[in-house]
Every structure is written in structure tokens, then in C-alpha cells.
Chains A and B, each alone.
Chain A
Amino acid sequence: MSLDAAFDDPAFVPYLAVGDPSYEQSLRYVEALADGGADAIELGLPFSEPIAEGSTIQSAIVRALEAGMTPGRYFEFVAELDVDVPLVCMTYYNLVYQYGSEAGPRPFVERAAEVGIGGFVIPDLPAEEAAPLREACDEFGLDLVFIVAPTTEGERLDRMHEFVSGYVYVQARLGTTGAREEVSEYTERSLARIADWDVPKAVGFGIKTGDHAERIVSAGADGVIVGSALVDIVAEGHENDDPTGVVAERLERKARELKRGAVRGLGETAPGQ
């Protein structure tokens, strides 16, 4: 499913690490997010060296890897998943590059397309190195999302604009992923720099509450991406040995809060509320 379809109204795009803390629980959790109003879902494929992640998502990745998550299992997971929103694969380039028998990103992209992935976010792949993956995405009709950092300016923005499709991931502040209390002042400036781009702008890094989401959307974003605040719920449930259904309910509730917040940012009420 094409990714920009998710942005008809202010979008809520959650992230979870697939396989955290187990394959079966993870299936329930992702479906709970869809039930809670997610417009698209970023599904993290765990990599052993996640250099762009803060401690919350690093821990999720360790739990998923320890529970046996692999690229092969990940694709089975996506195929099995019963949700009706666009799915984005978020991972690191080495896993994309190593997959399948031929070197390069093509076999990974082909398999992702088969199981219903709509696009990719690859945090360690800047536009300079992205041509082979962009080419494979074009061949199979998938989107390639890029991250605009607070430090991204000038020619770098132009190069990214040329390659990006689906949506652009606006990094709200410097640093790694992780929930924070403040909405960064960087956000508005970043959004202003790409105001004329013809792809939806989704802001991520540090968004934790419905109120955050509201402020981000009222600052001009087309959607919000939320990872760590959701992974925290998964982690807490795992630590306390809470029943899967209870954790799934919490996730669904959090999803509703974030979706409502995003929609409020546009001065409307969420549909169905």
C-alpha cells in the first residue's frame, strides 16, 4: 500500500521492534496499534548495531534478537500480520544488503514487496549511498523515506528531496530516538525548510503524549511518528509479566491518545470519537 495514502488527515505512525518480546506478542501489539487508529506502522527489523537508537529501542532490539528474530522470521511476521494500513520497514543497511543470494539490496526489497511492505526507513543510509536501494524500490514500486535532521541544510536537502518518496521523516531534535518531555524548537525550523516539498512531513524523535502530537501538527506537520513511548509500554509489560491482552489494551489506548492529539492539532476531532 502506498505510504502517502496514510496522510489524508493528520497521521499517527507508530513504531515497534518486531519480535519484542516474542513473535506472538509482537503480532498482537502491532494489531492493537492499528485498532487504536494508526495510519501507517513502522516495523523495526532488529539489527545488532542500532547506532541511531537510544536506550529504550536498543533494549527492545536486544529482547527481539534474543527471542530469535531474523530477517526471514520478520518477513513471515509481516505476511501473517492482519492489519489494513501501510507498513514501513525500518532497519539498518547491512541487513538489507546481505539478504538473499545476490549482493545488494534487490533481493531484500523484492521479498519485502511480496509480503506487503510499502516502503523503508534506513537510518544509516544517507542519500549519498542510497542510489542502489532507490533503484530497487523503483523496480518494485516501494517508497524510500529519508530522515531530515535539524542539521540538514542546503545541498543535502536538495539531494534528499530528489530521492525521497512516501513521506519525509523530520527528526525533531539532535541525538538518538527516545521519549522526551519537551517539543523541540528545532521542529518548526525543520518544517519551514521543507515546506514546499510535495511529500507529507512526519515528525519523530521524542514524542510521548497526545498533547505533544497536537503541538507538532499545529506547527505544520502532516503526522507524528512515535516509537519509544510505545516500546516503553511493551517493556514494562514484559518486566511485570503482564498478560499480552492487557499490554495490547494499553497500546491501543496510547495509540488513541496520540491519534486524537494529532487530529486536534488541525483543529478537528478524530473520526469516530
Chain B
Amino acid sequence: MSTDGSFGEYGGQYVPEALMPAIEELSDAYERYVLENEDGFRDELSERLTDFGGRPTPLGRADQLSERYDREVYLKREDLLHGGAHKLNNALGQVLLAKYMGKERIIAETGAGQHGTATAMAAAHLNMPCEIYMGETDIARQRPNVFRMRTNGATVTPVTTGRGTLKEAISETMRDWAATVEDTHYIIGSIVGPHPFPAMVRDFHAVISEEAREQMLETAGQLPDAVLACAGGGSNTMGMFQQFRDDDGVELYAVEAGGSSLSVDEDAGVAPNSATLSTGDEGVLHGARTKVLQDGDGQIMESHSVSAGLDYAGVGPELAEMVDRGRVQAVNVDDDAALAAFHRLAREEGVIPALETAHAFGYLEQHHDELGEVVVLNVSGRGDKDLETVIEETQSRDLDVGPTMDLFRDLGGHTAGEDR
């Protein structure tokens, strides 16, 4: 990365002038506290990630999957981090940074609600007022996370523009920030947005691969041949890749949401997928030049995925650059494969993954033959939040992979699938 925040041709700072001073202030704070550990910032963060967050998270061998695929399969368990997803690494880092910067209020956007819940927890932990912007569509499909944020004392503000998902939530949070920039810090939830966010969020999540690399050497006695992580905006992805990027023998796979189809409907402005790395092209969105899902004119498309956390029309500029350079393989699996993988991991290994995470396991199922002898996957989050969606989607698709809901029917109770 260069000092101006560019990754090859990607990155930069495409934001309204009103935000530029705040972004310069943040760049300065990032360099001093995060990169140079001024005032012991890194030490305090590391302590809090241990005492409050539960780091380090374990890495273990998945015995049934190893047998199923005839290779060594290891799981890095970010689902066991406090809050149930990797998101706390960044949220806690940025709330703490906001405190060091003397800010008095936190705002954040959220898609699936994982970043929102992590931010709400971190803000409560560090005693900072917190407001979370969330698209109304996502609020409807991620109710448990909305309750969690509110229980932590955060204000959850619905965003009603557009399709009401992550893209609109980011735009709305940027608007809030433009009005409140003097005392407010915006905690962006992925490696997207203007510099320094992509580099800073990556650095906060790099602890995932710092641990995983060491744990692989201890547990497996070697580095993996392949590292897999799901990719929406790309924060767990870059966190999981960061310490392996210089290991030439380690292939890195970013598994995107193929949704229901990789084709696009230009007239309707809809891409029924979120496979930005695989199918997007260069554009400017939310403060950065990166790959985006857009029509021929440059209007941003509405993305889709069964997983709210991957449902985004952009992607981190650094990840886009690593894909162009060939260091990262951009691959994708569709909604059905992700749902099947969700049930498989739950049944075979006793781990209920987030639907986002399930995409990485869908790719493992389909392409394990190409992945070498030793594979490690990042379990970026746990799937409790997705159970309602999974039950509905599984039954509506007649997928022969999940538990049947006959039990409820026999008891005369209500089931999500009874209209089938």
C-alpha cells in the first residue's frame, strides 16, 4: 500500500469535502495509535480483545469433513469471538480509537447486523453513545440482531431508501457523519470506504491470521495449501489472508455470494448476486475506487444474496487489487450451495455457521479436489441469527439437507414451512 491509501489503481478518498478533515484526522490517528502504538493503544486493544473478546480463538481439525473430502480440513473459529463473529476485532479497535481521539459519539452502518451488534457491544463496553443505521429490509430479516443492539443501549435507525440494505445504510451513515463530524466517529464495518478505512479495518482483523498461521504451524505442523474465507465487503477475508499473503505456497480463496444467478438485469438495475470480485468492474462507490456491481452508465446495481452480510454491490479496494494481481482467487457459490453447506457443517461438525460463512464451505464441497492436502477455513461467524431465514429458505427450496419441521406439525404448532 502506498501512503496515500491506494492499492494499485484502487482505493483513494472520494468523499464530500465536509468529511475530508475528519478523514485526515483519522489517518493521523491511525498512523499514531494503530501503526506506532502511541500511548500504548495496541497494548490496551490487545488486552481488551483477550479479557472482553475472548481472544485467541481456537483453530481445530474438522474430523468428519477431513474424512469426507479426503484431506486435512481445519477451522479457524471466529464464531467463538464475543458476539459470535469476527466483527468485534474491528468494532472494539475503532471504538477504542475514537476514545483516544476524544470523540464523543459512535455511528455505524450494519447489513446482517453483525457489525452493528459488535459495535453496540464495544460502545457499551467503553461507555460511548452509539447509533446504528440499518436498512429496513435487513431489519426485517435480522430481528434478533436488532434486539441485541437495542439491548446494548444502541439506537437503531431504519434506512428506508432504495432496497433498504447495506448499500443504503452506508450512504445514510455517511450523511449523518457529514453533519456531526466534529464530535462523532464513523465505524465502517468492512475494508471499504475512503482511506484509511480499508487499511485500518484490515489491520484490526489481521489478528485472525496472526493466530491462525501460528496455530496451523503448531497443530498441523505446516502451513495450509489453501485458505478459504467468504467475501462480501471483505473484512474477514483480508483478516484471514493478511499473514498468509507473503507465503507463496498458500492459495487464497475469496468465496463470494453467487446468489440465485450470476447474470444481471440492467433494465431493473438488479444483480441477483453479490459476486463483485468475480463479475464487477472498476468504479467509485462509498469513497473508494474499487470493483462494483454497476450498469453500463455507472449506476450502482441492487445486489442480492440469501446472506444479508454478503449482500453488497462493492468490495474492499485492496481485495480487488489482489484479485487483479492473481494473488487471491475470486470464486463464488450460489444460495442453494450455501444453504446446503450450512446444514452440512452443523450436522457433521456441530458448528452452526453464519450464512455468510457457509459460502466458504459450499466452495469446499464443490471444489475440494482442487484445494491441496491441507485446507483452513475461517468460520467468520455463528449462525444463530440466520436460523429463521435458513428454515424458511430451506423449505421453500425443497433442499434435502436440513432437518424436517415435521415435529412441529405433529405437535399442531406453527411452522415456517406450513404453507408449502
B180 interfacial contact with A, CB 8 Å: yes
* Nearest B residue (CB) for A72: B297
The segment from A150-158, A193-201, A221-229, A230-238 that touches chain B is A150-158
Interface string of A61-91 (1 = CB under 8 A from B): 0100100001110000000000000000000
* Cβ of A76 to closest chain B Cβ, rounded Å: 14
* B window 268-327: CB within 8 A of A: 269, 282-287, 292, 294, 296-300
Interface string of B1-37 (1 = CB under 8 A from A): 0001000000011111110111010000000000000
Instruction: Report whether B17 and A51 are in contact in the complex, using a CB–CB cutoff of 8 Å.
Output: no
The segment from B132-140, B171-179, B230-238 that touches chain A is B171-179
For residue A160, which residues in chain B have a CB less than 8 angstroms away from its CB?
17
A146–B300 alpha-carbon span in the complex (Å): 24
* Chain B interface SS verdict (over half): mixed
Total number of B residues with any Cβ neighbor in A under 8 Å: 37
For residue A128, which residues in chain B have a CB less than 8 angstroms away from its CB?
4, 12-13, 20
For residue B171, which residues in chain A have a CB less than 8 angstroms away from its CB?
49-51
Instruction: Report whether B18 and A48 are in contact in the complex, using a CB–CB cutoff of 8 Å.
Output: no
A120 interfacial contact with B, CB 8 Å: no
Instruction: Report whether B297 and A124 are in contact in the complex, using a CB–CB cutoff of 8 Å.
Output: no
- B15, B162, B269, B298: the one contacting A98 at CB < 8 Å is B298
* Nearest B residue (CB) for A147: B17
* Cβ of A42 to closest chain B Cβ, rounded Å: 16
Instruction: Report whether A174 and B178 are in contact in the complex, using a CB–CB cutoff of 8 Å.
Output: yes
- A50, A94, A146, A149: the one contacting B283 at CB < 8 Å is A94
* Cβ of B167 to closest chain A Cβ, rounded Å: 7
For residue A23, which residues in chain B have a CB less than 8 angstroms away from its CB?
none
Instruction: Report whether B297 and A49 are in contact in the complex, using a CB–CB cutoff of 8 Å.
Output: no
* B window 156-198: CB within 8 A of A: 161-162, 167, 171, 174-175, 178-182
- A47, A48, A92, A149: the one contacting B17 at CB < 8 Å is A149
* Nearest B residue (CB) for A53: B175
* Nearest A residue (CB) for B21: A151
Instruction: Report whether B297 and A70 are in contact in the complex, using a CB–CB cutoff of 8 Å.
Output: yes
For residue A52, which residues in chain B have a CB less than 8 angstroms away from its CB?
16, 175, 178
Offer 17 A-B interface pairs, CB within 8 angstroms, sorted by A: A48-B299, A48-B300, A71-B298, A93-B284, A94-B285, A97-B284, A98-B298, A123-B17, A124-B284, A126-B13, A126-B17, A128-B12, A149-B16, A149-B18, A151-B17, A152-B17, A175-B18
